[in-house]
Copies of this chain bind each other. A is one copy, B any other.
């Protein structure tokens, strides 16, 4: 049996509430059988909704990958175990990456094609706010849907990291956005980064009335939906003909009590279900290349900016998840590595 280096990580020995997290140790992630992989010495990680699902046991880790949670990180590129143990990695590039898991540990294994260089003007915290959130928004808008200039998009959970990224990407491309969120503060944030309209769904459960008003009765061409069943009928009423309705989460439950297909046929609605974590390495690499070419340079010019709500520590992961589940976030929750 080979000697194995232990590394610090936030681990959960059982599934459940945020207090299952504790600081622990895991094996250094071996690259055996994993061609083309490198490591990141993590400096910061972004917290994602999918990670709260994984903590609760509702979203399994990818087979063959670490059980340590964490879908994105920013830190230093590490090419070998020696670079890590010697501290030489500090001379390497600052990178951010989409991870198959392991973001909550001191060193995370990553496919070399899933790395992006952190723009020079951005901190590690800002870098950690980009991969999962911005790549997901990019994917939903431009790879799953075919968003283009002149369209109107309805953005649910506009205060989330994905929502804030989607609003900025839409503005850059010339897509008008209608933001939907639970508080007026979130809607103010959404408008400050480019949303044309905001709808507080606590005050307007049937948001479609306002959507129709804001679109002159035409409805929206794109819906970014992480809610699901709870808004199902209102989304149908909000849709324009040929609407591309991208479903990427089920925060409002999965069960639609009755689905009348006529309502879909009449508008030629496209319901496009998407997840990012389970896509192939090739899909992710291609997406990262496209995003890097088209949008990453705009972070350097300040035209796009990661929106960070709060920065905590890895050792405060319990608080980070509790805050995520409070549904009060405005932008990303970031944790910096204090392991």
A interface with B by C-beta (< 8 Å) = 228-229, 232, 247, 250, 254-262, 264-265, 267-275
Contacts and interface: CB of A to CB of B under 8 A. Distances in A.
A97 to B, nearest CB: 23
15 contacts: A228-B261, A229-B261, A232-B261, A247-B261, A254-B262, A256-B259, A257-B258, A258-B258, A265-B273, A265-B275, A268-B273, A268-B274, A270-B271, A270-B273, A271-B271
A58 B251 CA distance: 37
B250 A262 contact: yes
Contacts of A254: 260-262, 265
A232 B256 CA distance: 14
A282 to B, nearest CB: 13
A196 B228 CA distance: 37
Contacts of A273: 261, 264-265, 267-270
Contacts of A250: 261-262, 265
A257 B256 CA distance: 9
Contact of A247 (B228, B255, B257, B264): B264
Contacts of A269: 271, 273
Nearest to A250: B261
